[in-house]
Amino acid sequence: MLLGSRYSEGLLSKMPEKQYNHQQIEEKWHANWEEDPVLYRTPADPTKKFYVLEMLPYPSGRLHMGHARNYSIGDALARFMRMRGYDVLHPMGWDAFGLPAENAALKSGRQPREWTLQNISQMKKGLKRLGFALDWEREVATCEPEYYRWNQWFFLRMYERGLAYRKESLVNWCPQCATVLANEQVVDGCCWRHEGTAVEQRSLEQWFLKTTAYADELLSGIENLAGGWPDRVLTMQRNWIGRSVGAEVDFTIENSTDKLRVFTTRVDTICGATCLILAPEHPKAQELVGSEGQARLKAIVDDQGRKDPSSIEKDGFATGRFAINPFNGARTPIWIGNFVLMGYGTGAIMAVPAHDERDFEFCTKYEIAITPVVKPAEGELTLPFTEYGISFNSGEFSGLPTAEARKTMAALAETKGFGKAAITYRLKDWGVSRQRYWGTPIPMVHCATCGVQPVKDEDLPVLLPLDVEITGAGESPLARHESFWKTTCPKCGGPGRRETDTMDTFVDSSWYFYRYCDPHNNTQPFDPKVIAQWFPIDQYIGGVEHAILHLIYSRFWTKVMRDLGLITNDEPTKKLFTQGMVLKDGAKMSKSLGNIVDPEELVTEFGADTCRLYVLFAAPPDKDMDWQQTGVEGQYRFLGRVYRFVTRNADRLSGPVGELSAQDKRALRKLHQTIAKITQDFEQRWHFNTCIAALMELTNELYLCEEGLTAAALPEILKSLIQLLEPFTPFIAEEMWEEIGLTGPVFSHPWPEVNPKHLIEEEAEIPVQVNGKLRGKIVVPTGATSEVLEATAKADEKIAAFLAGKEVVKVIVLAGKLVNIVVKG
């Protein structure tokens, strides 16, 4: 009991207010929810389904603020949709394979699985402590055989269809990770996990998944995602796929039967090609440069500076050899150029310096001929001219508009057999082999007689052995684990050696959200009928850092599964929301900067409700937010204000119900405005920061009206207030719900409806402008006509002063909104 309270001797029979004790309240409801897991169970046969999903976390052992933010957004939506009558699927799992477990093993000798499972249990506690309404009966950990056996199963299906294949290729090798990286995992020439560690090129036999088989569909599908996905993610994907339409043309090498194939988007400029330039890694480069060129060639290949295109100077040398232009027979020198990429097109280009800036730069530097073959339709030709125009100097094609020449010339090349129209993608097939232990074993066997053979379905899963020694040096631990790799060939039964590479962990996250629908199925990855009930995901929420990696791979996987006949949806998710980062002092929270705020510490000090409220309040969810500790305290104070208000008014609910008092009306009006605002925001823009601001305004209003509130309005006000808080602060909401004598859980009750009756005001305050500047305000009855508004405005003392001696030119009246009087003189 607080003697200091101003209500302790109040006129009304108010209960003494209670102080907000977050610890007591949250412990109580946490325990309560733990005892009753059915509370969050997903309905079995959804009629009005809503699948809300947040990206699954890597179980590092600790939650960070990014998680708290991501899951607070998703949980608010999940609770709201549930209150709106939807059958909500809101699951959670663990992206549990990956390198950190092996590093932990090295450092502390912990077995990776044991380390991972302990982290999972710790983080699960953290998520529960934050009160997220998740269906834990559907939890999935990707490191468990029940899950990864289906990675293997899918791999076999892809292998059967030629979508998984093995080839020797130049791969990105991170010396720190001692493994291969996918193109997507190389950032600025360095490893995505080890900034500053340059990625090396090595030639290795690798497994690939044929993402390029779906390149066109991955690209065209982007159009259907527009509106539901952020534009910038779609742009990033479009650029990543990088489709370009052009032609491939063969140049015959002089004094040789061999040919050089180039890719160009501007075959119309081929008569202006004054040299061919090969990437230094081009397979024919070594031969063409001859013995005297080897040293220069190697110097260019090894030049690390090539990774940074902004600072690199174009460099190269002539091989001394020539090729013949198939269109005009021109003898064209063959060069090596450091700016030509082996990984794009054919690794060889025809340089047309007159019509390409890069070629112009290169050819100017080395004084190679520059021959213009396109001129603008109007005006002077200035080089380099890269636009479309009219061809000239191009034999029979001279005079043709460029766009037309492109087509005709590609067609001619095809008929004559020295080229063809071609489409090139920047997207490469997905290299999935990793020389690591803690991942899904690739279900293949190498046999001396039969070659590479797939493991039979009935022998799945290929279990990852747990008794391994992790040394961090040399080969993968699996390659040293004889009882793992020693096996028999599935075809001939002879001695075989298992593939000891494991799969990239992005495989795990490419389809996990399907498994959530049917997580305990042990005869197939999932029952297609169940998928049909829940897919596509209605709302996916996560960080923008996954815009290309995870989000392209999972789109690819969905298309493969569809073509396997397992699902019918073309895309995994209709809507994607990318939340902003959590910053502190203008920088991303990180260990190295020492600016981490630990959600669990925050929960201990202020409670989960305050933590959730603050991450939503500090900025709109899609924007980066800057952490301010004092801001957290403000949220805590707000919850205290609400709590004291509800508890001290709880026993006024059952008084005699009479007419609504003026304060009742005022409070109800504010309440219903708030309901309308928050409902609309959930449906449209997700500006939860303003929703919380609206709840604060409502609370402030209730404080001001408090003395005059009666039992005619209070029950509705308190009940709705609690419901409006429920998506954001479930613990305190549940506690207050009980305090006012209602039966929970709060989210099982329907979301409050706006009653327009309460929104009506008897009088309206209308701003009055003179020449567009605010000069006063008038109070008129609601619904007053334009004439009344104008007359009242002109009659207003303040306004009249501004009008005195001037001529009224025009009066703009927006009924119910504004009056603007235009004067002159």
Of residues 673-702, which lie at the interface with RNA (CB under 7 A)?
677, 680-681, 684-685, 687, 689-690, 692-693, 696-697, 700
From residue 609, give the alpha-carbon distance in Å to each of 29, 130, 679.
12, 7, 20
Shortest Å, Cβ 346 to RNA: 8
Nearest to 327 by CA among 242, 266, 244, 243: 266
Taking the least distance from each CB to RNA, the nearer of 398 and 680 is 680
Instruction: Spell out the SS3 assignment of 388-457.
Output: CCEECCCHHHCCCEHHHHHHHHHHHHHHHCCEEEEEECCCCCEECEECCCCCCECCEEEECCCEEEECCH
Query: Should residue 637 be labelled a site residue for RNA when binding is judged by CB under 7 A?
Result: yes
Residues 203, 242: Cα–Cα separation, whole Å: 25
Taking the least distance from each CB to RNA, the nearer of 107 and 232 is 232
Query: Should residue 772 be labelled a site residue for RNA when binding is judged by CB under 7 A?
Result: yes
Residues 726, 722: Cα–Cα separation, whole Å: 6
Taking the least distance from each CB to RNA, the nearer of 590 and 628 is 628
CB 746 within 8 A of CB 723: yes
Query: Should residue 356 be labelled a site residue for RNA when binding is judged by CB under 7 A?
Result: yes
- Single-letter code of the amino acid located at 680: Q
Binding residue for RNA, selected from 69, 644, 652, 719, defined by CB under 7 A = 644
**β-strand partners of 776:** 768
Nearest to 113 by CA among 637, 477, 393: 477
**Token pair for residue 714?**
């209070």
Query: Should residue 428 be labelled a site residue for RNA when binding is judged by CB under 7 A?
Result: no
Shortest Å, Cβ 562 to RNA: 27
Contact track, RNA, 701-720, x by CB under 7 A: --xx----------------
Q: What residues between 14 and 53 interact with RNA by CB under 7 A?
A: none
Residues shown for the chain: 825
Residues 325, 262: Cα–Cα separation, whole Å: 11
Query: Should residue 264 be labelled a site residue for RNA when binding is judged by CB under 7 A?
Result: yes
User: Considering only 232-240, 520-528, 595-603, 730-738, which stretch makes contact with RNA by CB under 7 A?
Assistant: 232-240
**Would you give the end-to-end CA distance of the chain in angstroms?**
67
Taking the least distance from each CB to RNA, the nearer of 502 and 689 is 689
Shortest Å, Cβ 18 to RNA: 13
Taking the least distance from each CB to RNA, the nearer of 4 and 565 is 4
Query: Should residue 621 be labelled a site residue for RNA when binding is judged by CB under 7 A?
Result: no
Count residues binding RNA (CB under 7 A).
90
Taking the least distance from each CB to RNA, the nearer of 91 and 316 is 316
Q: What residues between 481 and 520 interact with RNA by CB under 7 A?
A: none
SS3 content of the chain, % helix, strand, coil (to 5): 40, 20, 40
Q: Which residues contact 375 (CB under 8 A, 6 or more apart)?
A: 381, 385, 389, 390, 392
Taking the least distance from each CB to RNA, the nearer of 235 and 755 is 235
Binding residue for RNA, selected from 172, 179, 391, 635, defined by CB under 7 A = 635
**Token pair for residue 761?**
């005001």
Binding residue for RNA, selected from 344, 411, 414, 497, defined by CB under 7 A = 344
Taking the least distance from each CB to RNA, the nearer of 118 and 235 is 235
For 487, list phi and psi in degrees, rounded to 5: -150, -170
CB 717 within 8 A of CB 725: no
Query: Should residue 666 be labelled a site residue for RNA when binding is judged by CB under 7 A?
Result: no
Query: Should residue 314 be labelled a site residue for RNA when binding is judged by CB under 7 A?
Result: yes
Contact track, RNA, 58-77, x by CB under 7 A: --------------------
Query: Should residue 647 be labelled a site residue for RNA when binding is judged by CB under 7 A?
Result: no
Q: What residues between 524 and 563 interact with RNA by CB under 7 A?
A: 544, 548
Other residues' Cβ atoms within 10 Å of the Cβ of residue 15: 13
Contact track, RNA, 182-221, x by CB under 7 A: -----x----------------------------------
Q: What residues between 369 and 408 interact with RNA by CB under 7 A?
A: none
Shortest Å, Cβ 41 to RNA: 35
Q: Which long-range contacts (CB under 8 A, 24 or more apart) does 255-263 make?
A: 255/321, 258/284, 260/284, 260/323, 260/334, 260/348, 261/346, 261/348, 262/345, 262/346, 262/348, 262/349, 262/350, 263/344, 263/345, 263/346, 263/348, 263/349, 263/422, 263/424
- Alpha helices (runs of H) in 84-165, residue ranges in sequence order: 99-108, 112-129, 145-160
Residues 179, 195: Cα–Cα separation, whole Å: 15
Shortest Å, Cβ 243 to RNA: 9
Query: Should residue 338 be labelled a site residue for RNA when binding is judged by CB under 7 A?
Result: yes
User: Considering only 39-47, 68-76, 77-85, 616-624, which stretch makes contact with RNA by CB under 7 A?
Assistant: 616-624
Residues 647, 663: Cα–Cα separation, whole Å: 19
Q: What residues between 430 and 459 interact with RNA by CB under 7 A?
A: none
CB 293 within 8 A of CB 319: yes
Binding residue for RNA, selected from 66, 112, 347, 372, defined by CB under 7 A = 347
Taking the least distance from each CB to RNA, the nearer of 37 and 783 is 783
Query: Should residue 8 be labelled a site residue for RNA when binding is judged by CB under 7 A?
Result: no
Query: Should residue 732 be labelled a site residue for RNA when binding is judged by CB under 7 A?
Result: no
- Single-letter code of the amino acid located at 276: L
Shortest Å, Cβ 736 to RNA: 16
Binding residue for RNA, selected from 340, 422, 667, 675, defined by CB under 7 A = 340
Map residue 715 onto helix, strand or coil. Answer: helix
Taking the least distance from each CB to RNA, the nearer of 129 and 644 is 644
Binding residue for RNA, selected from 66, 246, 439, 477, defined by CB under 7 A = 246
CB 7 within 8 A of CB 14: yes
Query: Should residue 424 be labelled a site residue for RNA when binding is judged by CB under 7 A?
Result: yes
Binding residue for RNA, selected from 195, 765, 787, 807, defined by CB under 7 A = 765
User: Considering only 85-93, 463-471, 627-635, 739-747, which stretch makes contact with RNA by CB under 7 A?
Assistant: 627-635
Taking the least distance from each CB to RNA, the nearer of 358 and 480 is 358
User: Considering only 257-265, 369-377, 531-539, 716-724, which stretch makes contact with RNA by CB under 7 A?
Assistant: 257-265
Shortest Å, Cβ 16 to RNA: 13
445-483: b (≥16 Cβ within 10 Å) or e? bbbeeeebbbbeeeebbbebeeebebeeeeebbbbbbee
Shortest Å, Cβ 161 to RNA: 27
From residue 105, give the alpha-carbon distance in Å to each of 98, 115, 660.
12, 8, 68
Q: Which residue has the tokens 């009055």?
A: 768
Map residue 566 onto helix, strand or coil. Answer: coil
Shortest Å, Cβ 462 to RNA: 34
Query: Should residue 236 be labelled a site residue for RNA when binding is judged by CB under 7 A?
Result: yes
Taking the least distance from each CB to RNA, the nearer of 87 and 429 is 429
